[in-house]
């Protein structure tokens, strides 16, 4: 008979998530992961698979935790309200002292080598999905005339995603919540408005 596991898989996974979040995929060594998780290498491999599989599970956990905020944001009455709440909330979330600064989907992709291409592609897919959800929302408002004629939903979604991802990089470099909120306010000044009559 195999010996029963003596650790909580969810707790250990959360600790692995923390390491990946702080260090990125490639910066997180197996030694750092096992130390943080409080398990040995054989237990890691037996329970979670290899490092890439562990990262995929940690990433799924991260998305599960963050999707709730994004879904709430999308319920705002206008696309402008969606973006204002998204960026203001991002400033707070990205600098929350309760977890590593920045965004895992951005931090985890930094300095990915060719050996980590599957991870890089997975993170890019996650970022693209969020951008697509924004684009759909903007396209709805373009279609019903709530955004000015000529507004391109693709460009607008890419603009918002670029600001959001840039805020993550700034947070990882030490930017404060208030500094990021100033960036969010500046970004909102570029929001398309109807031409004056």
pLDDT in tens, 136-168: 999 999 999 999 999 999 999 999 999 999 999
Residue 160 lies in a domain: yes
CA 21 to each of CA 10, 121, 157, 170, 195: distance values in angstroms, whole numbers, following the listed order: 16, 17, 25, 15, 43
Residue 104 lies in a domain: yes
With a CB cutoff of 8 Å and minimum separation 6, the contacts of 124 are 109
Residue 105 is predicted with a pLDDT of 80
CA 57 – CA 148 distance, rounded (Å): 42
Nearest to 191 by CA among 145, 159, 162, 168: 159
Domain residue limits at 181 = 62-188
- Tokens for 40, please give them: 């040995």
Number of domains in the chain: 1
pTM of the model: 0.84
- Tokens for 104, please give them: 């895992």
Nearest to 94 by CA among 105, 78, 82: 105
Residue 22 lies in a domain: no
What does the mean pLDDT of the chain come to? Answer: 88
Q: For residue range 37-92, what is the model confidence (pLDDT) as tens digits?
A: 999 999 999 999 899 899 999 989 888 888 889 999 999 999 999 999 999 999 99
Query: Which CATH number do you get for residue 137?
Result: 1.10.357.10
Residue 85 lies in a domain: yes
């Amino acid at each position: 008979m195999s010996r029963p596991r003596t650790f909580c898989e969810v707790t250990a996974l959360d600790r692995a998530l923390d390491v990946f979040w702080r260090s990125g995929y490639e910066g997180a060594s197996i030694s750092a992961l096992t130390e943080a998780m409080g398990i040995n290498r054989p237990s890691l491999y037996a329970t979670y698979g290899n490092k890439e599989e562990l990262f995929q599970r940690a990433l799924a956990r991260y998305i599960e935790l963050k999707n709730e905020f994004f879904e709430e944001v999308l319920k705002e009455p206008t696309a402008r309200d969606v973006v204002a709440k998204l960026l203001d909330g991002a400033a707070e979330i990205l600098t929350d002292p309760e977890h590593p600064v920045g965004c895992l989907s951005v931090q985890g992709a930094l300095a990915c080598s060719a050996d980590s291409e599957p991870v890089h592609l997975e993170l890019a897919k996650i970022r693209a999905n969020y951008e697509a959800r924004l684009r759909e929302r903007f396209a709805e408002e373009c279609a019903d005339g709530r955004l000015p004629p000529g507004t391109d939903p693709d460009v607008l979604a890419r603009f918002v995603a670029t600001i959001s991802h840039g805020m993550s990089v700034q947070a990882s470099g030490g930017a404060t919540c208030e500094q990021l909120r100033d960036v969010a306010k500046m970004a909102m000044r570029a929001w398309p408005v109807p031409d004056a009559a």
